[in-house]
Structure 1
Amino acid sequence: MTVFGAIGIASTGLTVYRKWIDAVSDNLSNMNTVRSTNEAAYQAKYVVAEAANYGNDTDDGAGVRVQGIALGDAEGRMVYEPDHPLADEGGYVKYPDIDMSSQMTQLIMAQRGYQANAAVVDRAKESYQAALQIGRS
């Protein structure tokens, strides 16, 4: 694998982890979104990643890509808040079924993955610059 190949593969990882961080950010910012009981709750977003060119024997690694976004449950959770303006006649409103601790764990994993791929890009860039210096000597 060439230095440019390492940068290319690491950049695909950066893209996937950035999209994962974006999805977690959306989930965290909408975890307190209230809906009436006859509406669907905010659906959490989950990034589905896959190996790029998986199963292609002629390719020595093309990185990873986002296959799509999976959505969480639209049922949400019912909370008794009789004073809320969106409450039904029983006093219930609907919140998304999003667990903050799970989302924070995913955020930490995505941040660390992003940092690891960024470090690969930095190391590959340093190797390329060192090779250029050797060529100049």
Structure 2
Amino acid sequence: MGTFGAIGIASTGMTVHRKWLDAVSDNLSNVNTVRPTGEAAFQARYVVAQANEYGAQGGVQVGGIALGSAEGRMVYEPDHPLADAEGYVRYPDIDMSAQMTQLIMAQRGYQANAAVVDRAKESYQAALQIGRS
């Protein structure tokens, strides 16, 4: 694998990690979304990654998005405007600490792939300098 192959593979990793960051940020921004009990709760998004085979070139791609439970959590809030006759509303079943862990992992993966691109670029520039000598 040459320098450009490393950049190509790392860029696929960056794309998947960016989509993962997008999904986690969407989940975190909707953690307090309230719905009436007759509606489905916000469903958390989870990125499904899969290997990407391009002949000799590898990498990764987003294979799809998995959705969390639509049932959510029933919370007793009788003063909420969306509460049913019994005083319940529906919140998404999203664990904030698990999402923050996912956020850190996705961020670190993105940074690692960006570092690979930087190192490959530096290697290519060094090879060009040697060729000029």
* TM band (smaller chain): over 0.9
State the identity %: 81
Deviation at 1:62, TM superposition (A): 1.6
Could you list the runs of 5+ residues in structure 1 that have no partner in the other structure? none
Matched, 1:98 2:73: no
Residue type at the aligned position of 1:67: G
Q: Structure 1: how far apart are the matches of 2:75 and 2:12?
A: 41
Q: Does 1:136 align with 2:132?
A: yes
- Moved >6 Å (runs of 4+): none
1:9 equivalenced with 2:5 (yes/no): no
Higher mean C-alpha deviation, range 61-70 or range 16-25: 61-70
Matches within 5 A, 1:64-103: 64-103=60-99
The residue type equivalent to 1:79 in the other structure is: V
The answer to whether structure 1 residue 108 and structure 2 residue 104 are counterparts is yes
- Spell out, residue by residue over 1:82-106, the C-alpha distance to the aligned partner (whole angstroms, 9 max, x if none): 0000000000000000000000000
Aligned counterparts of 1:125 and 1:87: Cα–Cα separation in 2 = 57
Please report how far the alpha carbon of residue 60 of structure 1 lies from its aligned counterpart in structure 2 after TM superposition: 3.1
Q: Whole-Å Cα distance in 2 between the matches of residues 62 and 22 of structure 1?
A: 23
Matched position secondary structure for 1:88: coil
Quote the Cα distance in structure 1 between the aligned partners of 2:117 and 2:91: 41
| SS of the residue 2:18 aligns to | helix
- C-alpha separation in 1, matches of 2:75 and 2:56: 52
* TM-score, normalisation: structure 2: 0.98
In structure 2, C-alpha distance between the alignment counterparts of 1:119 and 1:60, rounded to whole Å: 22
Give 1:9 shift: 0.1
- The CA distance in 1 between the partners of 2:89 and 2:57, in whole Å, is 49
TM-score, normalization: structure 1? 0.95
Letter of the 2:126 partner, please give it. Answer: A
